Amino acid sequence: MTAQAQPTTSSTGSSLDAHVLCEIRNHVGHLTLNRPAGLNALTLDMVRGLQRALDAWALDDQVNAVVLRGAGPKGFCAGGDIRSLYDSYKNGDTLHETFFDEEYALDLCIHHYRKPVLALMDGFTLGGGMGLAQGADVRVVTERSRLGMPETGIGYFPDVGGSYFLPRIPGELGIYLGVSGVQIQAADALYCGLADWFVESSKLPTLDERLDNLGWSNAPLKDLQGLLAKLGAQTLEEPPLATLRPAIDHFFGLPDVPSMLEQLRQVNVADSQEWAHKTADLLAARSPLAMAVTLEMLRRGRHLSLEQCFAMELHLDRQWFAHGDLIEGVRALLIDKDKQPRWNPPTLQALEPAQVEQFFEGLRRPEHCHARP
């Protein structure tokens, strides 16, 4: 969901026309998020525009596949426009509730879409951008890609299906990404299974040209894969997370966040000390409540279906604006910009288990779901 964006404005036509561009070329429906100044952060109008196009193209025999991208070189989509959601809650409106309902429905639609979807994750792909891309059949990264679920840094939790796709990354890598909120680049995205192909950004115009001239078979997904096989690669050498994997699996497999932080602080082995202490500092700056809820959510999500994960996230959302740390996080980062959030509680030591458990009341605990010893 995360993005630091300004409220929607439109100088030409409606906000829908300005901020979601739709075009069909050679049996491909092209959808472009067109708010480059705001790193293509999603507004409710944009969500509705994307949904409307996808619904129409699902029934259009002239459309074989969909390509989803962001305008400009800096970002595919840096998340949801959290400033507008903050304003909605503060003003007593319901926009923030409607936004999550419809955003999650859109993400779920992409996961189950009847035609192949190709997501070009060029540039920042954070929060809500990951929600759009992770449901796609073909996920492409470039050397400019920066992927992440940085929600705990603003007092929130990884939503938009994060409770489904993060814990399904091998080992504890997804727990690490979700709790810490770190961003990764192309090699790690491929290593984690959060992307399928690497294509150099300089070859994206060639990709478009070949899409415009592609001779389609009765297997559109195979056609897309064949095209990408000539332009890109499915692995890159020396992904940093591969080296860190044993340490990450150990620390982020611990029972709770305080244990993780404590043990990270104690590392004094030269080859991992810098990473461990840097990670500890990062966790210490995040919302204690958000990290603890995230850990519980991800461990539950490992045993839930996609639909159940979205339902769990919506259950948390319904409580989070009033009882979570998001409003304070947005205040500190976007409104007052003092970058001194007053988390509640302020420390992990002050966080009671009951404060985490209350958010999950009414949800059945999945079988086999428990913290690792």
- Active-site residue list: 80, 128, 151, 159
90 Rama class: left (phi>0) / alpha (psi -120 to 50) / beta: alpha
Angle at 26 between CA 49 and CA 231, to 5 degrees: 95
Distances (CA, A) of 174 to 35, 158, 167, 250, 296: 29, 11, 5, 13, 13
> What is the token pair recorded at 358?
């209350």
Among all chains, which residue has been given the structure tokens 């995205």?
189
CA end-to-end span of the chain, whole Å?
Answer: 31
- Give the span between the Cα atoms of 221 and 197, in whole angstroms: 14
> What is the token pair recorded at 139?
């996920």
Among all chains, which residue has been given the structure tokens 């739709």?
22
- Give the span between the Cα atoms of 256 and 253, in whole angstroms: 8
The set of long-range contacts for 60-63, using a CB threshold of 8 Å and a minimum separation of 24, is: 60/29, 62/24, 62/27, 63/24, 63/27, 63/28, 63/29, 63/115
Distances (CA, A) of 32 to 196, 200, 223, 305: 20, 19, 21, 29
Longest dimension (CA), the chain: 62
Strands 75-77, 28-33: parallel, antiparallel or unpaired by DSSP?
A: unpaired
